[in-house]
Amino acid sequence: MKKNYCVLITMGLLSFFSCDNLEHNTDKENNIATETKQLSAESEPQKENERREPHNYGGWYCPDNLNGFPVVDFSDWADVPVVNGRMATQEETWNGSSLMFIDMAKYPDAKPMDITTPKLARYYNEYTQKDELIIVIQAVTVENDSVVGFRYINGGNGSARFNEVEFLTDSEVENLKSSRFISQTIAIDAKAKDIYKVITDSIYATRLGEGFYEKAIYDSDWNRDSKVVVKDATGVVLRTGRLTAVWPSLYIQIDYNFDGANYVEKLFLSRSEEGESTELILVAGPFNDDFNEEKKSWNSWVYTLKVLSEQRKWIGI
Q: Give residue-wise pLDDT tens across range 226-249.
A: 999 999 999 999 999 999 999 999
Say if residue 120's pLDDT is above 50.
yes
Note the pLDDT tens digit of each residue in 30-80.
Answer: 332 222 222 223 323 344 444 444 446 667 889 999 999 999 988 899 999
Assess if residue 236 is contained within a domain.
yes
Same domain, 233 and 169: no
Answer whether 296's CB lies under 8 Å from 203's CB: no
CATH of the domain at 208: 3.30.530.20
- Each as own residue / partner, the long-range contacts of residues 253-257 (CB below 8 Å, 24 or more positions apart, any chain) are 253/63, 253/64, 253/128, 254/228, 255/128, 255/129, 255/130, 257/130
Assess if residue 1 is contained within a domain.
no
What residues does 141 pair with on adjacent strands? Answer: 111, 146
Backbone φ and ψ for 267, nearest 5 degrees, come out as: -135, 120
Q: Which of 133, 149, 174 is the last residue of a domain?
A: 174
Assess if residue 3 is contained within a domain.
no
Tell me the pTM: 0.82
Answer whether 231's CB lies under 8 Å from 216's CB: yes
Give the total number of structural domains in the chain: 2
Note the pLDDT tens digit of each residue in 66-82.
Answer: 999 999 988 899 999 99
Q: Which of 174, 204, 224 is the last residue of a domain?
A: 174
Note the pLDDT tens digit of each residue in 176-231.
Answer: 877 899 999 999 999 999 999 999 999 999 999 999 999 999 999 999 999 999 99
Same domain, 110 and 69: yes
Question: Based on the number of CB atoms within 10 Å of its own CB, is 184 exposed (0-12), middle (13-18) or buried (19 or more)?
Answer: middle
One-letter amino acid at 258 equals: F
Same domain, 286 and 266: yes
**Three-state DSSP state, 170:** helix
pLDDT category, 144, cuts 50, 70, 90?
confident
Rounded to whole angstroms, what are the CA distances from 224 to 9, 220, 242?
Answer: 27, 10, 8
pLDDT category, 300, cuts 50, 70, 90?
very high
Assess if residue 2 is contained within a domain.
no
Domain encompassing residue 31: 9-174
